[in-house]
Structure 1
Amino acid sequence: MLLTLNGRIQTRVFVLGVVGFLVALVLTPVLPTGSLSVGQTYRVTLSVLLATVLVGVGWELLYHFLQQFRWEKDWPTLFGFWTILNEAALMWVLVHYTTIILPRALHPSLAAFLIQFILTWLVFWLLVNGPMRVVFHRWRFRGGRFL
């Protein structure tokens, strides 16, 4: 069963909100953040996570629009994996080159950003394409919707 737009948005928000939060809790103390305190580092990682969730809703709308030009109206799984590139690039621009998400004093290094983003994305992608299909078997038949 294909995930609907509403289901993909709900899945993204739920899984990034829960799993992304857990990844951030574990990963934040060991990130290479230089002179930032642990509290400031948590502020950075959780702000980036929240921004990723919010911007991700926009990505889902764009992906849905682009999928309408495909015959099957869906992406191959590998396409879904490679979306990490454009999403990470946009988030890096928003985090590092603007003050929309964080003040200049709290901008993370590229290494810290990439470690957090890539690990969170990999855990998200693996969970959605693996165990969630087994544990939440009704989730698949409801188009990915939780509500």
Structure 2
Amino acid sequence: MLPTLNGRIQTRLFMLATWGVFWTLVLTPILPGDPDYRITFVLLGVVAVLGVIWELIYHALMQFRWEKDWPTFFGFITCINEGALIILLLRLDLVPFLGVDGSDVDIWAFVILFLVIWMSIWVWTNGPMRIFNVHWRFFGGRIV
């Protein structure tokens, strides 16, 4: 079964709350530009909020496809537009959470953190998660 919109949103938020938090805790001390945990967790929250919006946009676009689904490669390269949007919002100072100034964020630190989190989540959900959590597949990707 293909993940439903609800299942994709639940999976995205669950994976960011687990893998995303784990990698943020591990990588923040060694990222370039010495970001603090406040900045990296705010960015993780921004990725989560904008990710839900992206899922709605992707769902609308998928309705024009005959299969109503993306090829796996499309799911893989969506990190480009999602990451680019967040970098643009940072540069335009449009990330107003907890007083984070876009100039306080080292772009390379964000890119490294974003790509590590994105790749680990993508690999897990397209591989081992489908083996170890069979119910996830049969319930349309819903966690709850």
TM-score, shorter chain, exceeding 0.5: yes
User: Runs of 5+ in structure 1 lacking a partner?
Assistant: none
Return structure 1 stretches of 4+ with deviation > 6 angstroms: none
Give the equivalent residue in structure 1 for 2:31.
31
Instruction: Write the distance in 1 (CA, Å) between the matches of 2:104 and 2:115.
Output: 17
Q: Match for 1:69 among 51, 64, 68?
A: 64
What is the TM-score with the length of structure 1 in the denominator? Answer: 0.91
| Structure 1 residues 5 and 15, CA gap change in structure 2 (3 angstroms) | same
Instruction: Write the distance in 1 (CA, Å) between the matches of 2:13 and 2:111.
Output: 20
**Which secondary structure state, in structure 2, belongs to the residue aligned with residue 120 of structure 1?**
helix
How many residues are paired up?
A: 142
What is the TM-score with the length of structure 2 in the denominator? Answer: 0.93
Sequence identity of aligned pairs in percent? 49
User: Runs of 5+ in structure 2 lacking a partner?
Assistant: none
RMSD, matched Cα: 1.4
Give the equivalent residue in structure 2 for 1:115.
112
**Which secondary structure state, in structure 2, belongs to the residue aligned with residue 69 of structure 1?**
coil
Give the equivalent residue in structure 1 for 2:123.
126
Offset at residue 132 of structure 1 (A):
0.7
Deviations 1:92-127 (A, max 9, x none): 122332142353276211111111111111011111
**Which secondary structure state, in structure 2, belongs to the residue aligned with residue 24 of structure 1?**
helix
Aligned residue type for 1:117:
F
